[in-house]
Amino acid sequence: MAVSRSKGRDDFLLATWDALGDVTYNYNVKIAIDLIPTERRGVFRIRVRAFRPKPNAGYERLAVYERLYPTSEISELSAGLFSAANKLDHMLAEIDRDATREREMGG
């Protein structure tokens, strides 16, 4: 029996792609993902960053989230990426809430 192509796909990777697409659209940001080797053999730092276009050119960094991979809770790289994407989404939501609150208070 043949296995369909979609069965072999990594669900976390597709979910990460979708989540980052939503983040990009919802907060008008560009996303950068870095995978950085640490001094510990086999351990990496996953870093996701969100940048917003500046009015006159370039970008300003809005948020950065970092986590180690692998950990006792996350053994798949794609799961680590998905977790980091969700954390970045939460950080940007909080930044937007704070900005809205400040505007409402006349700041």
Asked whether residue 23 carries a pLDDT value surpassing 60, the answer given is: yes
pLDDT tens digits for range 48-93: 999 999 988 899 999 999 999 999 999 999 999 999 999 999 999 9
Longest dimension (CA), the chain: 65
Closest CA to 64 of 41, 101, 33: 33
